[in-house]
Amino acid sequence: MKLKTKDIVITTLQRENREISRDELFKLSNISDKASYNLAISELQEDGDIILIKNKNVVLSEAMGYVKATILRSSRYFSFARTADGSPDIFIPCEKMKDAIPGDVVLLQDIRQEEKGPSGGVFRIVKKGDRLITGMVERYKSKLSVIADGGFGYSIPIVRGGELRSRDGDKVRAALMYDQHERKLYCRVLSIYGKANSAKICADAIIDRYGIPSEFSKGLRAEAKRVSEEPITAEEIAKRRDLRDEAILTIDSADAKDLDDAISVKKTENGWTLGVHIADVSHYVREGSELDKEAFERGTSVYFADRVIPMLPEELSNGCCSLNSGTDKLTFSAIMNIDQKGNLCDFEFCKSIINSKVRGVYSEVNEILAGTADDELIKKYSPVEQTLKDGEELFAVLKQNAKERGELEIETTELKFVLNEAGVCIDVSTRTRGKSEEMIEQFMIMANQAAGKLAKEKNIPFVYRIHAKPEAERIAALADLAQACGFRVNKIKPGLTQRDLAELLSAAKDTRYEKLMSMQVLRTMAKAQYDDRPIGHFGLSLADYCHFTSPIRRYPDTSIHRILSALVGGMSIEEIKRKYEDFAEESAKQSSEREVRAVNGERDTEKCYAAEYMTAHIGECYDGVVEGVTAKGIFVSIPCGIEGFVNLSRLENAFFEYNGTTTTIDKRSGISYSIGDSVRIKVTAATVALGTIDYELV
């Protein structure tokens, strides 16, 4: 992989591991262009990666003890910052903040390891956040302030004359202003969303807070409409493998409209032939077009309870790209031969055209596979009856294969929200996964694996889905917690394998600690992300992996479709490298950032809808289970899956002490609460704007 000038400078400084003059560093770096070198030095200094000493000598910031981090949350007395590598958050007392606020990227100095974690102070602000906030207006006496969303732990006064007709309880967008004389933050209201007790209104604010683009321009919609109306010509069909007579179907949720994957399965003498046929988005979203630029900027579709914010205009996502049944569709197919033990023997990728025979629905296919379907369903799925039978057999083998190689099955709770016509949450339940959901997941994993293998074998630029091995410090924390819960931890140590973690999860299954262990294993592992280097996927226990199967809603998938299209179209390896090397790196970086943005926005919105649902149930009592324990109280989950907090520190005549792992004990009465305990709670408060729910024990 070709290194950029900045990368060369950093690599040289790391190799030399010392302070170097600018002229000597230029020579050691073997960079031919002095202008690009000087620009790289300037940008690296601005980004906080290097320190210039008297504008003559250069040294890495980390070599001087500086750490780059982002201010996450703040109170009047202290703040916390987080580094990009996911290390423990760094405590910063207010007198060492240097006017930094949440969202600012800073260089920290004087990093010390304290008993409760690392601490430090701000050396300088590397990059200021946008200084825009969203939040809820509150009135105290005659003054208005904003309880800001995100990392602010205090109210920010609205400057005189900056109210913009906002009132107590409004959800607003505001601009921050720092008074240097008073050393105090103020804000000015820019716009009013509506009342903050509406989850829908809060979702509008969350979209703005994270900078998620929610509308397409008229020009983009016009381009999408024009592209979607292009007919499939005989010339185009002649270039593709014609699979329109194959017993192919899609399987998705009943309300899905962007159907980007279809399957075909045939039993063979040596195993199975699995076809995974993916919408050929890169055929419609041409490289460098305005649609392509917009998709790159968005990176992914975002899913809220009340809306989908698509990566592509609906004319494409729900129209020509969606693999609707009974219609000819252009696809990119992975045809894989799998042996009787579930091993991927050989495969090929080809441009194709399909005509899906059935629009499958997960719940319906689950009934078919369980043998409980009625005559109407049996008739609907009769064109693909053999496909489903062969697919069920293949799935059983693939699942066993995944288990044997150590693929981690981590159970997480996903909530499903039901809204009324006004967009208010009126019901909540937990989503369940049946056999068909798991079957499709395994089939997609096989296609993603095959695409990753092909890219690595051909040594072409690519966007891989990577998942690094857990760090030793996190493994030690997992071992301590698992041991406190009574599990054997002799294998939970640096160098552990996926199978070691799988065995721990298996031991915790159906115990009071099942959810705790699942969540702790998740925290132990690195976050999966996109990268142009094939370092493997730890959680799936696969050496080669990527995301090939959802190009309608993920830009990394569109990226590798474009690269693989060039490969199967006959472009030379050298030309692919020249054309896509920088693109793969940029796409991986952008896709990872946009994924984080989407996940955070979705999570915050989910909290608001959960709180909105519980506002209608204030005063009601439920049986619950303790899911988490902290120094201040316990988190309790009720049957619908919603979690709330019981603040034990507010109880009279009680002094609870947290043991640091699973239990808190009242030193006066001896009453204790541990993870997995059954408790009875009453809902006492739910604040939609903050996404918080409070319970009390009864």
Which tokens sit at 667?
Answer: 């030193």
Task: Name the nearest CA neighbour of 611 among 421, 417, 420.
Answer: 417
pLDDT tier at 3 (50, 70, 90 boundaries)?
low
pLDDT at 2 over 70: no
CATH class of 5-63: mainly alpha
Q: How many helices (H) and strands (E) does the chain have?
A: 18, 34
pLDDT at 213 over 90: yes
The per-residue pLDDT for 1 is 44
Which residue(s) pair with 623 in the sheet? Answer: 680
In CATH terms, the fold of domain 132-196 is: OB fold (Dihydrolipoamide Acetyltransferase, E2P) (2.40.50)
Which residue(s) pair with 680 in the sheet? Answer: 623
- Read off the pLDDT of residues 454-510 as tens digits, 9 standing for 90 and up: 999 999 999 999 999 999 988 998 999 999 899 999 999 999 999 999 999 999 999
What Rg, from alpha-carbon coordinates, does the chain have? 27
Contacts of residue 234, Cβ cutoff 8 Å, sequence gap at least 6: none
pLDDT at 609 over 80: yes
Which tokens sit at 415?
Answer: 């909530």
pLDDT at 384 over 70: yes
Task: Name the nearest CA neighbour of 58 among 50, 47, 66.
Answer: 50
- Please provide the DSSP assignment of 102-165 as one string: TT-EEEEEEEEEETTEEEEEEEEEEE----EEEEEEEEETTEEEEEESSSB-SEEEBPTT--TT
How much of the chain exceeds pLDDT 70, in percent? 99
Nearest 5°: CA angle at 577, between 527 and 587? 35
Contacts of residue 578, Cβ cutoff 8 Å, sequence gap at least 6: none
Residues of the chain with CATH 2.40.50.140: 65-127, 617-697
pLDDT at 522 over 60: yes
CATH superfamily of 617-697: Nucleic acid-binding proteins (2.40.50.140)
pLDDT at 575 over 60: yes
- Tokens 């070709």 locate to 2
- Please provide the DSSP assignment of 510-572 as one string: TSTTHHHHHHHHHHHSPPPEEESS---BTTTTBSS-B--S-TTTBHHHHHHHHHHHHHHTT--
Residue 603's identity, in one-letter code, is R
The answer to whether the beta carbons of residues 21 and 29 sit under 8 Å apart is no
The per-residue pLDDT for 179 is 77
The answer to whether the beta carbons of residues 410 and 505 sit under 8 Å apart is yes
Instruction: Name which of 93-97, 148-152, 318-322, 663-667 the model is least confident about.
Output: 148-152
Instruction: Supply the angle between the helices 573-615 and 199-209 in degrees, to the nearest 10.
Output: 150
Residue 494's identity, in one-letter code, is P
Instruction: Quickly list H helices, 544-645.
Output: 555-568, 573-615
In angstroms, the first-to-last Cα distance of the chain is: 62
Give the pTM: 0.89
User: Torsion over CA of 198, 203, 209 and 213, rounded to 10 degrees?
Assistant: -140
Instruction: Name which of 93-107, 206-220, 311-325, 371-385 the model is least confident about.
Output: 93-107
* Choice between 622 and 97, residue whose per-residue pLDDT is larger: 622
Task: Name the nearest CA neighbour of 515 among 637, 347, 407.
Answer: 637
- Read off the pLDDT of residues 153-197 as tens digits, 9 standing for 90 and up: 778 999 999 999 999 999 999 999 877 777 778 999 999 999 999
Residues of the chain with CATH 1.10.10.10: 5-63
Which tokens sit at 591?
Answer: 């896709």
Say how many residues make up the chain.
698
- Read off the pLDDT of residues 258-308 as tens digits, 9 standing for 90 and up: 999 999 999 999 999 999 999 999 999 999 999 999 999 999 999 999 999
The per-residue pLDDT for 500 is 94
Q: Are strands 155-157 and 143-148 parallel, antiparallel or unpaired?
A: antiparallel
65-127 carries CATH number 2.40.50.140: yes
